[in-house]
Structure 1
Amino acid sequence: MTSSERIFQLRVDALTGNSEWVVVEGDDDSPSVDLATTSYLDMLNDNSRNKAYRLAIDNTVTRPCSVLDIGSGTGLLSMMAARAMGIQDCNDKGRVVACESYLPMIKLMRKVVHCNGMSRKINVINKRSDELKLGVDITARADILVSEILDSELLGEGLIPTLQNAHDELLVENPETVPYRAITYGQLVESSFLWKLHDLYNNELCASDGIRLVPTELSSILNVKPQQYPMHCDSLQEEIKLLSEPFKIFEFDFWKRPDSHGEAEILIKAAAGGSVNAVISWWVLQLDREGTVFYSTAPKWIKHLQTEFPGDRNWCDHWKQCVWFVPGKGLPVSKGENIHLRAVHSDISISYSLKVESQRTRNEHSIHGDDLQLTLSPEKIATYSDDNWRNCVLLAVQNALYGKDSPLCFVVDDSIFLATAIARLCNTSHIMLLFPGLRERGFQYLQANAETNHFSADCLKLLDHRTDCISINDTDGKKIDLLVGEPFYYGFETCLPWKNLRFWKERTRLERILSKDAHVIPCRGILRVCAMSLPDLWRSRCSLVNIEGFDHSVANTILGACGNLSAPKEGPMLPFFVWQCGETKELSERLTLMEFDFSKPMSSCSGKAKVDFTKTGVCHGFVLWIDWVLSAENGIIVSTGPDHRHWKQGVKLLKTPMAVGSQDYTSSVDGHSVEMEAIFDSENGDLSIQYAFVQ
């Protein structure tokens, strides 16, 4: 590796939250950065996408010319273009320039291109497209642009500024492009599930515990960020009420320079009465000029779009639908009423506002951007809206505080709910806050919300250093009576479930200032496992071989392939919302694999379980999660399993799917079982799984 190819990688210690930039050494023959959590593998396993691009490139690149591939990834589109031209070398008559800014992908692309014998046909450049210089990086403006710089919203990866620069600096006038055009569509829906993902204010009005995280006088203090949220809406089909027909929103032509700002005023007739809780949107690509090749991210219930734009699109995780939440309880509409929707796009996003024709626009809970505002993820807002979750947490805290006079309580994570609950339940408590992610903004939020919840902000203290630096002096000579966490660490919501064992690490660091009878909530963590059929997820993560005629097997290790791997390789465990993973089926009971005892300092540990299959089917892997025991005495447990949709689970996919149970579906299940062992490493927070199928 040359000095110019050194990779500076930000590494985060999951158990401490500490981060540092490190130089990753290595050469092009070994993966230097873990790309398993990216969407590259899933994208390359999307056969419908790959076929559509191949057909469109074959229709467009019909002569020797100059082709520019922006954001080229593994170089698949560049190789398609070079093959379509039939070029033997980069020359003046026909050339392909592939630019990719992410160095790990450049390293991988060079290997893929080399393995396919195309190193002399494609000029690979490690730069952003807006860094390319005519006469230096490329000899002349390109005749054809091929690109795949699209996210689920369409614009989030910088499509507009990239196209603007390309048309200004890199492309000929009126170039050919693949894709040729993109059109966004939307539909108005009613959904109580989507409502609870953003409207904590109105959901709290139904709560009986008296705690108000969103007070009436400060209704904009706690919100989700106003944006479109990618989501597999097919999984919600049975609980969504469609309130309109699909409608066209924006059209973006790749072959001409796009505008940075655009607006659309759309009149929509309500197809049914109800409350509009969300706008669900998707897009359709027209990949060639003639309009013969299309790709759509529409949900499955859009039958007429599937007929108009034919294709065999399977479940994939790299492109989903998008959800825009309508503020508050939603917009009430009657069947046949006209709804005005105003859509606005910027360089990188699309936003919406809407009103019924006979009413003025509702602004009760709109975002004003005041200094006290906190933004949390939709899943965290929904958790705080969950009566059962709130009751479990409050009961455990109430029991722990019973009989304590002026207790010292320590919130080690980012839980504004626990801090508020303790202050409200015990007005003599002293509460120390670590708030490692929220920091001062979380503290200011609690101060602003104190009066509404009937406590004095004087009982709160935000610590300005890490737990490994905290001493008895910071607690005024008093030891901790109650140490709590949800656990929830702001900014780490998408991590594997056991990364929240950071709570155990923090508790361990505070061992010296815990009182002898200190309560720790949660007091225990239970690692649970279930064998599942996950055909869609397995297909999207299986190893790559031939993609439209190009060998990609060299990419499997670095992209974290799981299925169809050669022995003894194993794929990584990855975090997913299992309920959004397409077709799923539980094949075994939910079993305890290992327990973590938070009453003791952190240590490495292991556990074993025998998983017996209770249903017939094809096992694609194991789903793992943690159930948090808030009170062992009272049996108060909060589960984060696959039927609790506000948390991600960890998924371990098999190299080869295994048929389990009886193959005669009329008889009882009598097939395989699995012996599993889990090993937790307290040094780095890693969890390893070993398994063996047995008769």
Structure 2
Amino acid sequence: MINDMPRGEQYGRAIAAAVRQLSKRPDVVAQGGVVALDIGTGSGLLSLMCAQLQGMREIHACEMNDALCAVAREVIASHGSSCCPVKVHSSVSTKLELPAKVDLLFCEVFDAGLLGEHALPTIMHAKKALLKEDGILIPSRATVWGQLVEAPALLERFGVPRPPEGVVMSGALLRGSERYTCETMSSVPHVPLSEPVELVKLDFRNTETLGANLGAWIDPPVEMRATRDGSAHALVYWWELELDEAGSCRINSAPGTGCDSWQQAVRPLVAPEPGAAGVAVRKGDELLLHLRVQVDRFDFVLEDVEGQRTADEPCLLEEATCCPSTKAAKQRPELLLEEEELLRFNDAEHWEVVRCAIDRALASLPSGMPAQVVDISEAPLPMALLLAAGCCERAQRPLDGGVAGMRGETERRAAAALLLDNLSDEGLERVSLLLASPLQVIQVALPAPFPPVDPRHRTGSSAAVPAALVLCEDLVEASGALRSGVLEDLATVWRCCKGQVLLDRQIRVVPEAITLKLTLIESPELERRTRVVERPGGVDVSNVNALSVPVFLGLEESCLQPRRLSLEVEALTLPLGSEDFLKALIVLDAEECRQKTGRPNLLKVRLTATSAGRVHGIQTDFRWPLADEIRDKPVAGRRKMIAGILWPNDGKGCPWVEVGDSIVVSVRYSPARGLVVTPVCVERRQRPSSA
């Protein structure tokens, strides 16, 4: 947000105007100047902008994050005596104790949904307990705007409307853990079905009225007119802050306004389940949007032309209409999923890759040999196990059950309902859902089958010891990064089975290999999202960069718009399905090599520029076998997340490369950190000297 110059400019103008106004008051003059409070100071930017103004006496900056507090103190100290005193308090504002109430209170504690960072209780408490009765509050007001959109893909942020082919998911209610998501709507395929309309105004100066109306449905509801035929899947909403009382300083988070700090909020209008359809509307239809303000969010219920009301949560329907939700929905076990988990479950291309990999692993086994599935994924549901069961059935290979680890009892209940929908009674008897980590599952299920079966109970081809089909479908996370600890889990698989593979049991791992590919990228947007590069109001807060991590992950490619400066280079391939995997890790483990040979053995890879540009990062792409063939198919609305390495924050900035220049990187393995990619140096291509 620091790099958002319009945001900094508007806050700076509003604060300057307030200080000028307050400086004329006799009581402020008598006390020696304006005393201000900055809530959620972060880097200390707004405090420093205020501290440089004439007429200031003292500023209290409040920040609940200890690490940011330390940075704010360092940033403020680096500006020396050119500012009025700024005291940084490591505390939440509701527990802050000041010598006296302040003249000026400013805060920036808003998210894309306006209220998600508890802005309302923060402001209501501060205005009553910390601000003088005639003090000035920034911001002054907020207006929320909304628009109906047709965008089936948005439902995937809240549930699993697009499960893997052949998997029935009606037994459990899978929902997103967040009531709304934050989206850059300019990059999301959607069709507007109404004009933007004003939903609600919030006057932060009148906290008594705000408090009295919390939790109450606003009457009358908001009228929305459909501008075209379609299916309304979601309500997109955004806000405009009026920082000063006159409304001359404003910040607007609407799509396409140039505000970089906030995205737009999206709330589904229907339950995001398989086969979910939006609210059917026709051009000219009048719809009513019922709305209420909660402490940390807005609730919405849409009423169509026939008086039917729809919402993504049954409880909202009951409260707004007294219509009973279905008993089946209430009886189903509910599982809340994080955004990345939803992204994975709705990724049909990923599950097709998994299915193909399982088919290939099963085809490599001797004919008639039964298989037992050992799912060591950390996913909340054993989706890969279900796919393996289907693959065995199609290949007419005996399935000798399976085992998967669950995080907790809630996940186990949902997984049991999922298995009940998809497996036969015989299959259910042979599947074990353990409250266990991947490592514990490995120790239980390898090298001997789990649960143990008396060989006398086996008949025909099933008398053979079943092969272990080890599944690790979430090896590469939806964020694009390698899952933490996953390589060590797979190493444990081979350590458990070492020396016994050929004698007792055959092992197959899915995926059988993983390939790391590297590419130099130029992306000013990546730099802006990960580093401080601007100086709002002339204030330098680049000390914040000390907190930046050397990697990025889970960023949408469509937002970053990276430009490739080199060809994609294959750095290494790890043979996960072979005992050679252990040898490969030893070679990459710099510390182990140092102990054995006296020197580290670093794999070095050279990335040669094919285009001139500034290297902001190195994209890391982990690929399964067959993934290129399947994932290269265009899929409308698919979100592609990318991950990689940022150029080191060494104070010299990101290097410029010409065609032929090379960036050398090292790749090593650490049991604690996994694969670590590090830029080593820039090698310049020799160019003929001018005569």
The RMSD of aligned alpha carbons is 3.3
Q: Say which structure is richer in helix.
A: 2
Structure 1 match to 2:61: 98
Compared CA separation, residues 658 and 366, structure 1 to 2 (3 A): farther
**Match runs of 1:304-323 below 5 Å:** 306=257, 313=258, 316=260, 318-323=261-266
**Match runs of 1:511-522 below 5 Å:** 511-514=494-497, 515-516=501-502, 517-522=506-511
Q: CA deviation at 1:523?
A: 1.5
The one-letter code of the counterpart of 1:144 is L
Aligned pair partner of 2:200 in 250, 262, 265: 250
Structure 1 distance, partners of 2:626, 2:408, is: 25
Q: TM-score, normalised by structure 2?
A: 0.77
Q: Secondary structure at the match of 1:432?
A: strand
Compared CA separation, residues 640 and 483, structure 1 to 2 (3 A): farther
The one-letter code of the counterpart of 2:112 is S
Q: Secondary structure at the match of 1:175?
A: strand
Structure 2 match to 1:508: 491
The one-letter code of the counterpart of 1:410 is V
Compared CA separation, residues 387 and 120, structure 1 to 2 (3 A): closer
Structure 1 match to 2:682: 692
- Give percent identity, aligned residues only: 22
Q: Secondary structure at the match of 1:396?
A: helix
Aligned pair partner of 1:232 in 184, 192, 199: 184
Structure 2 distance, partners of 1:680, 1:595, is: 13
Q: CA deviation at 1:229?
A: 0.4
Structure 2 match to 1:574: 552
Structure 1 distance, partners of 2:614, 2:642, is: 23
Q: State whether residues 235 and 579 of structure 1, in contact with CA within 8 Å, keep that contact through their aligned partners in structure 2.
A: no
Q: CA deviation at 1:614?
A: 4.5
Structure 2 match to 1:349: 297
The one-letter code of the counterpart of 2:237 is S
Q: Deviations over 1:5-53 (max 9, x none)?
A: xxxxxxxxxxxxxxxxxxxxxxxxxxxxxxxxxxxxxx22221111111
The one-letter code of the counterpart of 1:650 is G
Q: Secondary structure at the match of 1:200?
A: coil
Q: State whether residues 383 and 646 of structure 1, in contact with CA within 8 Å, keep that contact through their aligned partners in structure 2.
A: no
Q: Secondary structure at the match of 1:109?
A: helix
Structure 1 distance, partners of 2:302, 2:545, is: 46
The one-letter code of the counterpart of 2:384 is L
Q: Secondary structure at the match of 2:354?
A: helix
1:373 to 2:348 alignment: no
1:211 to 2:153 alignment: no
**Match runs of 1:2-17 below 5 Å:** none
The one-letter code of the counterpart of 2:76 is V
Q: Deviations over 1:497-549 (max 9, x none)?
A: 02x15332212223344444311001111112223331222234344574423
The one-letter code of the counterpart of 1:55 is R
Structure 2 match to 1:126: 90
1:116 to 2:105 alignment: no
Compared CA separation, residues 386 and 573, structure 1 to 2 (3 A): closer
The one-letter code of the counterpart of 2:200 is F
**Match runs of 1:250-269 below 5 Å:** 250-257=200-207, 258-259=210-211, 260-261=214-215, 263-264=217-218, 265-269=221-225
Structure 2 match to 1:482: 469
Structure 1 match to 2:242: 286
Q: State whether residues 68 and 144 of structure 1, in contact with CA within 8 Å, keep that contact through their aligned partners in structure 2.
A: yes
Structure 2 match to 1:421: 387
Q: CA deviation at 1:424?
A: 4.1
| Structure exhibiting the larger radius of gyration computed from Cα positions | 2
1:622 to 2:622 alignment: no
Q: State whether residues 424 and 454 of structure 1, in contact with CA within 8 Å, keep that contact through their aligned partners in structure 2.
A: no
The one-letter code of the counterpart of 2:474 is P
Structure 2 match to 1:434: 405
Q: CA deviation at 1:482?
A: 0.8
Q: Deviations over 1:228-253 (max 9, x none)?
A: 101222222xx321111111122222
Q: Secondary structure at the match of 1:629?
A: coil
Structure 2 match to 1:590: 568
The one-letter code of the counterpart of 2:174 is L
Structure 2 match to 1:530: 519
1:84 to 2:71 alignment: no
Q: State whether residues 268 and 312 of structure 2, in contact with CA within 8 Å, keep that contact through their aligned partners in structure 1.
A: no
The one-letter code of the counterpart of 2:682 is A
Structure 2 match to 1:324: 267
The total of aligned residue pairs comes to 592
Aligned pair partner of 1:58 in 9, 16, 21: 16
Structure 2 distance, partners of 1:641, 1:548, is: 44
Structure 1 distance, partners of 2:511, 2:104, is: 59
Structure 2 distance, partners of 1:278, 1:71, is: 31
Q: State whether residues 667 and 675 of structure 2, in contact with CA within 8 Å, keep that contact through their aligned partners in structure 1.
A: no
Compared CA separation, residues 179 and 332, structure 1 to 2 (3 A): same
Q: State whether residues 284 and 295 of structure 1, in contact with CA within 8 Å, keep that contact through their aligned partners in structure 2.
A: yes
Q: CA deviation at 1:193?
A: 2.8
Q: State whether residues 621 and 651 of structure 1, in contact with CA within 8 Å, keep that contact through their aligned partners in structure 2.
A: yes
Q: Secondary structure at the match of 2:177?
A: coil
Structure 2 distance, partners of 1:399, 1:540, is: 41
Q: State whether residues 301 and 311 of structure 2, in contact with CA within 8 Å, keep that contact through their aligned partners in structure 1.
A: no
Q: CA deviation at 1:145?
A: 0.8
Q: Secondary structure at the match of 1:497?
A: coil
Structure 2 match to 1:44: 2
Q: TM-score, normalised by structure 1?
A: 0.77
Q: CA deviation at 1:608?
A: 4.5
The one-letter code of the counterpart of 1:273 is D
1:649 to 2:643 alignment: yes
Q: CA deviation at 1:557?
A: 1.7
1:392 to 2:353 alignment: yes
Q: CA deviation at 1:372?
A: 1.3
Structure 1 distance, partners of 2:404, 2:179, is: 30
Compared CA separation, residues 116 and 649, structure 1 to 2 (3 A): same
Q: Secondary structure at the match of 2:113?
A: coil
Q: Deviations over 1:642-665 (max 9, x none)?
A: 99625442242476456666xxxx
Structure 2 distance, partners of 1:364, 1:68, is: 39
Compared CA separation, residues 76 and 266, structure 1 to 2 (3 A): same
Compared CA separation, residues 252 and 651, structure 1 to 2 (3 A): farther
Q: Deviations over 1:84-118 (max 9, x none)?
A: 2434xxxxxx4322222222222222111111125
Q: State whether residues 45 and 539 of structure 1, in contact with CA within 8 Å, keep that contact through their aligned partners in structure 2.
A: yes
The one-letter code of the counterpart of 1:53 is Y
Q: CA deviation at 1:294?
A: 1.1
Q: State whether residues 625 and 641 of structure 1, in contact with CA within 8 Å, keep that contact through their aligned partners in structure 2.
A: no
The one-letter code of the counterpart of 2:264 is Q
Structure 1 distance, partners of 2:126, 2:48, is: 20
Structure 1 distance, partners of 2:521, 2:361, is: 37
Compared CA separation, residues 476 and 386, structure 1 to 2 (3 A): closer
Which stretch of structure 1 is more off in the superposition, 406-415 or 192-201?
192-201
Structure 2 unmatched runs, 5+: 24-32, 271-275, 316-328, 393-397, 453-464, 589-601, 686-691
Q: Secondary structure at the match of 2:64?
A: coil
Aligned pair partner of 1:158 in 115, 118, 131: 118
Q: Secondary structure at the match of 2:572?
A: strand
Structure 2 match to 1:409: 373
Q: Deviations over 1:666-690 (max 9, x none)?
A: xxxx554544443332343251322
Structure 2 distance, partners of 1:200, 1:482, is: 26
Q: Secondary structure at the match of 2:74?
A: helix
The one-letter code of the counterpart of 1:282 is W
Q: State whether residues 106 and 138 of structure 2, in contact with CA within 8 Å, keep that contact through their aligned partners in structure 1.
A: yes
Q: State whether residues 392 and 636 of structure 1, in contact with CA within 8 Å, keep that contact through their aligned partners in structure 2.
A: no
Q: State whether residues 149 and 191 of structure 2, in contact with CA within 8 Å, keep that contact through their aligned partners in structure 1.
A: yes
Which stretch of structure 1 is more off in the superposition, 529-538 or 138-147?
529-538
